[in-house]
A = this chain, B = another copy of it.
Amino acid sequence: MAAQPRWLDAREDRAWRVYKHAQEQLDSRLRRQLLQDSGLSEAEFRILAMLSEHPTGRVPAGELCSSMGWEKSRLSHLTRRMQEQGLIAREPNPTDARSSLIVLLALGRKTIEDAAPQHVQQVRQDFIDVFTPGELDLIGDLFERLLHHFAEEPDGALDEA
């Protein structure tokens, strides 16, 4: 099956390679910079950011998982480590004994408030400011199309040729 695949032509190959390469560079730059000036990983940053945007600073774990699109175990490992660092706490959810609430602690709030400005600045410098507003809209449109595509094809569907 699929003995004679359609290889990528020059245009396709170039788009894919360039995209991949740029994406990796961008990722590693932002990761390194964030780590250096705040000691946070991207994942930790996003957790703290989401908690700090929440009015109460107390969010059920499942909600974090689904809004990040993460696996449960990933969040579990991560929150355990963050708890050990004193950034957050985990406490039982009164409305559902299975669930747990992730709680932003004072140190976590301070950490994210210190880290955010520099991180935004980096995102600006390494991504936003490289494009015009129109191009940003375009990027939004194109990658939103990818998201729709993924939503329609739930991962395992390459059989029915």
Contact = CB atoms under 8 A, between A and B. Distances in A.
Given A140-B15, A140-B18, A8 B128 contact: yes
Number of copies: 2
A139 B143 CA distance: 10
Contacts of A117: 2-3, 5
Interface residues of A, number: 55
B25 A121 contact: no
A138 B29 CA distance: 23
Given A15-B139, A22-B147, 17 more contacts: A5-B117, A6-B124, A7-B120, A11-B136, A11-B140, A15-B131, A16-B127, A16-B128, A18-B139, A18-B144, A19-B127, A19-B140, A24-B69, A29-B155, A33-B155, A125-B153, A126-B149
